[in-house]
Structure 1
Amino acid sequence: MVRYIKQFQDYWTHTASQLDLTVSSCEELYGALYSAYSESQRHYHTVQHIVECLEHFHDIKTHLTDALSVELAIWFHDVIYNPQANDNEQQSAEYMKQVLESVLVAEQMEKIYAWILATQAHALTANLDLAYLLDIDLVILASNPIRFAEYEGQIQQEYAWVEPSLYAQKRQQVLRHFLEMQPLYQTPLFQKRYEHQAKQNLAQILSV
């Protein structure tokens, strides 16, 4: 986890350098983000998840029209997370608007707001930047088998409050939904790089 904390900080330094923030505001916002993604109820939606998303973002950002907006959407898309709530994306979008309203122009803020909301349903979109954001959010499904197993364990920990047999039933429904999506990833690049491995991971866990 120490490695992820260092990367989290380095990635925030990169993002903040593109924003009109005072030093104190930059540090305050970093502290708020770090505290949020370190909350005790989180096991997957953590510093690690944001770092992994940003690793993929930096790998593909030259394909984006508005890279900064995608970058900010990644930072804020899970900033509010309660496993027992159903409005986390809405709350996260509202938080983003609250802390960045004096930094972003209204058009950009509304776009990021809408993109954060879109991470709830992962619906098909014609907007390529948003498609990349949604693919990045799901790229964990294409992890190597060790990371994928760790991910499944982390999700299960976040839902430890659910009765185990009910959790298993609901989780299977979610994973089968992903398996049956044709294609799973919206961008040709992610389809080429990750579709096969993701479907393999999903098929294997559903067959256990």
Structure 2
Amino acid sequence: MTSDATHREKKLRARWQSATTAAGAPADRDPAPYADRLLTAWAEPQRKFHTTAHLADVLARIDVLAAHTADDADAPNPAAPNPAAPDTAAPDTAAIELAAWFHDAVYRPDRSENEERSAALAERALPELGIDAATTAEVARLVRLTVTHDPAPGDTNGEVLCDADLAVLAGTPAEYAAYAAAVRAEYGFVPDGAFRDGRAAVLRQLLALPRLFRTPYGAAHWEAPARANLAAELERLISHT
């Protein structure tokens, strides 16, 4: 393991500890063995993009979004009938972080039920850690939401998680190219032509969405560069057909 990977794993273990504590895990439950299992899963050899680096990136984006969303929730909405009452709930950062840990805990590029199996894993593991039923249910709901990345209006937790997960689309051109190459490597078992067709369909579907990002911060900072990256990749795919 490289020094960067070792440092990242150490930070991730600390994040897991703090997230489980914030979610209500009692002091007599040791979360470390669960971190071991999750980090082992996130380091499986078939993963090229869905790795601990992606997990760390999603958690970092959650930090950014949760801070801004909390600010939005605390600010009065002058358009609301009662300006003192915000129309956005503050995010449950503990539940969102735990959902980030579990959202790709099960990942097989050739399978379609990864999110469901990942949610089921959370539903088994979190009660064992002493985390209550309501938080466990919310974590599992959020994991399942990453199938569509389509949170309902007002679903602050879902907006934060989905935007954090999709933020990779808004990287620099070089970062996006590395992401696209890693995705292709995960699907190395798919012939080039079939991959181009399938990937192009995904890109068209994303570009057709009215909004990729639902949080105010994501819409302001990530929407435009993400669309530019997606359009450029689609153009490259089309030019090779």
For the pair 1:135 / 2:163, whether they are aligned, the reply is: yes
> Equivalent residue for 1:110?
137
- 1:63-107: CA deviations, max 9, x gaps? 242110001000110000011111000100111111111321111
> Equivalent residue for 1:166?
194
1: CA distance, partners of 2:49 / 2:192? 18
Q: Structure 1 residues 55, 5: closer, same or farther in 2, change over 3 A?
A: farther
Aligned-residue offset at 1:15 = 3.3
For the pair 1:52 / 2:80, whether they are aligned, the reply is: no
Amino acid in the other structure paired with 2:13 = W
Would you say the 8 A contact 1:90–1:117 is kept in 2?
yes
Please, what is the CA RMSD of the aligned residues? Answer: 1.7
Q: After the TM superposition, which of the residue ranges 43-52 and 54-63 deviates more from structure 2? A: 54-63
> Equivalent residue for 1:11?
12
Aligned-residue offset at 1:5 = 4.1
Between Structure 1 and Structure 2, how many residues are aligned?
208
In the alignment, structure 1 segments of 5+ residues that lack a partner are none
Percentage of identical aligned residues = 26
In the alignment, structure 2 segments of 5+ residues that lack a partner are 70-89, 237-241
Aligned-residue offset at 1:204 = 1.1
TM-score by length of 1: 0.93
Aligned-residue offset at 1:60 = 2.4
Would you say the 8 A contact 1:80–1:92 is kept in 2?
yes
Query: Which is greater in Rg?
Result: 2
Give 1:42-191 correspondences, 5 Å limit.
42-62=47-67, 63=69, 64-102=90-128, 103-126=130-153, 127-191=155-219
- Structure richer in helix, relative to its length: 1
Amino acid in the other structure paired with 1:46 = T
1: CA distance, partners of 2:5 / 2:63? 15
